[in-house]
Structures are given as C-alpha cells and as structure tokens.
Chains A and B, each alone.
Chain A
Amino acid sequence: MTRKKAALAYIANDASRKATFKKRKNGLMKKVSELSTLCGIEACAIVYSQYQAEPEVWPSTLGARRAIARFKNMSEMDQSRRMVNQQEFIRQRIVKAEEQLKKQLHENREREIVQVMYRALVGEGLQGLTIVDLNDLGWMLDKTGKEIEERIKELKKSAPSSEQAASAELQADKAAPENHAALNDVVAVEGLEATQNQPWYMDLLKPRNEGDALNLSRNDPMPSYPYGNPAPSWSDFYFP
C-alpha cells in the first residue's frame, strides 16, 4: 500500500487514474458497507465512471432504490439540510482546516512566549522583542504569576506551620529587588544602578536538591553561562 499523499487534483495520466479509481472506488464501497453495519443504518452509494457503462452501486440496485425512495419520502427541507455537493463540501473542509490552523498558531505562539519568558528569567535580554512580543510576554508573566500564587495558597493551606515559618524567613532573606543585568543598557537611562552583584535570577540556576530547597545560600559559585552579553538574536532559535 503506497502512502504517498496524492495531490487534490485530477490525475492526468490515464493508467494512473484508472488504477487509482479502481482502488479508491473499492475502498469507498467498503467504507459505506462498514458504516452501515457498524451503526445499523441504511445507505447507498452510486458511482458513474468512464470505465463502465453501468454505474457501480452499493448495496445493490434494489437496495439503492429503497434508500432513494426513503430519501424522497422526506420533506424537501430534511433532504436538503444535510445535502452537499463538491463545492460546498470542499468549502466546509477549508473552514475546518482554517480553524485548526488558527488554533495551532495560537498554541505555538503560547509555546514560543513561554520559552521567551524562561529565557528572559535567566538573563537573556529583552532587546530584539517587538512591542507585540513584550505585550504577550507581560500577559504570560501575569498568567503564570497568578498560577503560582494559586498554587502557593494551596500549599500553604495544607502545609504545617514550620514550613510557613521557614518560607517567611526566606522572604526576609531576599534583598531588595535587584536589577536585571541584561537590561543595563536600557535602565541606565532611567538612572537605576547597574549592579555587578549577583542579579536576582542567579538563585534560579542552582541545581535543585531534594530536601535542600530551603537552603539557598548566596555563596554558591556562579554558574557559568553568558549573561549581560548582547542578547542573542531571537531568530537564532526560532525556526527559519
């Protein structure tokens, strides 16, 4: 069985077209038969082709006549409500595909922004992002921030008081908000101090140790990764 995707166009090559017709026509009849059996419903299929004088019919001439008679017995409205020709059907397919595409674009955009967010958190600069990107980034930060708050509330509800005390301690430990090193160029304009001390995000880079979560000492060596360098071009890790 070949699995090459056929283009949605008339097959010019006669031999190829004939072979395709034979296969697909058989497949179609099989599908109609399965549908009828699986769902216990009445159906018929009629195929006229250049290869046969008489049409190919499922289930049989008699069966088809019966189905047609039942069809004609229904009101005009009932008949036409779910009636489609090629044009209408293909249009429906286009609409469906466009909806799926829109959804997929949206999902991919979210994934991208999440990546941007995590990269920004570890110090990659915000240069190279458009206002639109920054907007979305702000939105994502808000959204994730809320989730984190919710989760913290949940945990605090069920957490024993000792953990709460410890976390309060940790909060006190944290110094005043430090500056995002990669923004030095930008924030210098606003007169904020560019600190050469460990930026706030450095703590995030410590490997996670089980049972060691409370011990986030600032004396640990700085991990070596580039920060404060000119931001890499975003096009580097977005697919060309």
Chain B
Amino acid sequence: MAKKPSLGRQKIAISKIPKKNHLQVTFSKRRSGLFKKASELCTLCGVDIGIIVFSPASKVFSFGHPEVEFIIDRFLAQDPAPPDSGECRLIEAHRNANLRDLNGILTQVLEELEVERKRGEALDEMRRESQRQCWWEAPIDELGLCELEQLGGSMEELKKNVMRWINELMVDSCSPNGEIAYESKPLEANGAYNLGHVYNLHDQNGLF
C-alpha cells in the first residue's frame, strides 16, 4: 500500500497566488511553518518573539513568547527591557522548566515517528521484492480470474487453520487476552507507544 508521492518541494515565484484554493492551502501550511520556526528560535536562542498574522478571511493568528500581549505592550511602550523582578524571574524559571519538559516529549515522539517511518519504508521495500518473485502477492487487480479463485480458496483454507490454531491456544492456556475480539472490526493500533521500544509482532498491542 504505497503512499502516493506528493509533488514535493517546488520553486514558486514570490507574488500573490492567483488561485483562491491554492492561496488558502498555502496560507495554512506556511503560517503553521512560520510559527514552528518562531517556536524553535525561542527555544534554541532564548529570545522573546511576537507574531501576528491575518488570514485571507481576515481571521487573526498570533504566536507569542512569553505571551503575545506582553510583546505587544513592550513594543508599544518602546521598552527595550522587560520588567525584571524576583517574581518575574521565578515565573520565568517555572515556565522554562515546563517548556524543557514539553520539548523533551516532542523530541521523543518525533524520533519514534521517524523510526516507524523508516520501518514502513523497509517493509514496503520487502513487499516489492517479494512481489517480483511471487505472483500471488501482486495486487488483487492484477490477477486473473483463475489465479484469484485459487488464491481465494487457499486463503479460506488458511483461515480455517488459523481459527483452529486460535482455539488450540485458547484451550491450552488461560491467555491474558481472554476473549477473541474477533469480528470484522477495523484495524486500530493501540495508542501506546513505549518510549524507545520498537513495535514487533510479539507485542500484545495488536490491531484491536
């Protein structure tokens, strides 16, 4: 199930986008990217930033560190230095500690995401490889009638065996996963992601 490749990065002229849909999509993406860059700049360099952006529909988006209002007030007052006091410093210390934690979590999730993406690519590659050698692994649409009937029959057989095997296991041991949650439920990955733990079939996190 390969993803459709997107158009990727394309060079565009910096002038107003003529098509309305395109403009709206671009606004959405770039605004998000802009805030992300601002957020990173705050984190990496410990600076205060305020950004105000009006959408094509005249809604307003704003990003501010520590807060949009602080930056606005400071700017309008033409005040180079922010108010400084013991209390301010304490608040700032708390805030920074909190942000450090949040950034830590974000980093972890992004790393796991990257790991899973690579796994996905590798799995796709394996699939492509074996499709070259085994005709029955080809997409359903590419198979002929006879092949389909044969494959279908084989699958039914295997299905029976799988059910038999499941029953075997159920009878043999008191499995912690009690009942067979087996109806035609859609595949649902459990939300759990164990930090640094790579997903494998031995996990109890199945599709249900």
User: Which of B33, B54, B56, B127: most chain A CB closer than 10 A?
Assistant: B54
CB contacts (< 8 Å) of A38 on chain B: these are 12, 14-17, 23, 26-27, 30
B59: Cβ under 8 A from any A Cβ: yes
CB pair B34 A106 closer than 8 Å = no
Within 8 A of B (CB), among A57-101: 57, 64-65, 67-68, 70-72, 74, 78-79, 81-87, 89-91, 93-94, 97-98, 100-101
State A45–B68 Cα separation when bound (angstroms).
11
CB contacts (< 8 Å) of B46 on chain A: these are 10, 17, 50
State A113–B74 Cα separation when bound (angstroms).
58
How many A residues have CB within 8 A of the partner chain? 134
State A54–B81 Cα separation when bound (angstroms).
9
Closest chain B residue to A67, Cβ basis: B52
Closest chain B residue to A238, Cβ basis: B200
User: Which of B31, B168, B206: most chain A CB closer than 10 A?
Assistant: B206
CB pair A79 B60 closer than 8 Å = yes
State A239–B117 Cα separation when bound (angstroms).
13
CB contacts (< 8 Å) of B82 on chain A: these are 48
Query: Contacts A54-B80, A112-B123, A200-B154 known; A89 to B187 CB distance under 8 Å?
Result: no
CB pair B52 A43 closer than 8 Å = yes
B89: Cβ under 8 A from any A Cβ: no
B7: Cβ under 8 A from any A Cβ: no
CB contacts (< 8 Å) of B147 on chain A: these are 208, 213
State A207–B168 Cα separation when bound (angstroms).
35
Within 8 A of B (CB), among A175-211: 177-178, 180, 183, 186-187, 189-190, 200-201, 203-204, 207-208
B125 to chain A, nearest CB (A): 11
Q: B170 touches which one: A35, A72, A131, A137 (CB < 8 A)? A: A131
CB pair B75 A64 closer than 8 Å = yes
CB pair B208 A135 closer than 8 Å = yes
CB contacts (< 8 Å) of B203 on chain A: these are 132
Closest chain B residue to A215, Cβ basis: B146
Within 8 A of B (CB), among A1-36: 6-11, 17, 20-21, 24-25, 27-28, 31-32, 34-35
Q: B156 touches which one: A107, A126, A145 (CB < 8 A)? A: A145
Chain A interface helix/strand/loop/mixed: helix
Within 8 A of A (CB), among B153-169: 153-166, 168-169
A40: Cβ under 8 A from any B Cβ: yes
Query: Contacts A64-B75, A135-B182 known; A50 to B123 CB distance under 8 Å?
Result: no
State A107–B144 Cα separation when bound (angstroms).
27
Closest chain A residue to B105, Cβ basis: A94
CB pair A109 B199 closer than 8 Å = yes
Query: Contacts A24-B41, A38-B17, A135-B181 known; A48 to B189 CB distance under 8 Å?
Result: no
CB contacts (< 8 Å) of B164 on chain A: these are 183, 186-187, 190
Closest chain A residue to B175, Cβ basis: A131
Query: Contacts A8-B106, A48-B49, A109-B207 known; A234 to B44 CB distance under 8 Å?
Result: no
Contact with A along B95-124 (1 / 0, CB 8 A): 100111011111101101100110110111
State A40–B168 Cα separation when bound (angstroms).
67
Query: Contacts A71-B52, A107-B120, A137-B162 known; A132 to B44 CB distance under 8 Å?
Result: no
CB pair A21 B17 closer than 8 Å = no
Interface residues of B (CB under 8 A from A): 1, 12, 14-17, 23, 26-27, 30-31, 33-56, 59-68, 71-72, 74-76, 80, 82, 95, 98-100, 102-107, 109-110, 112-113, 116-117, 119-120, 122-124, 126-127, 130, 134-137, 140-141, 143-166, 168-170, 175, 177, 180-182, 184-185, 187-189, 191, 193, 198-208
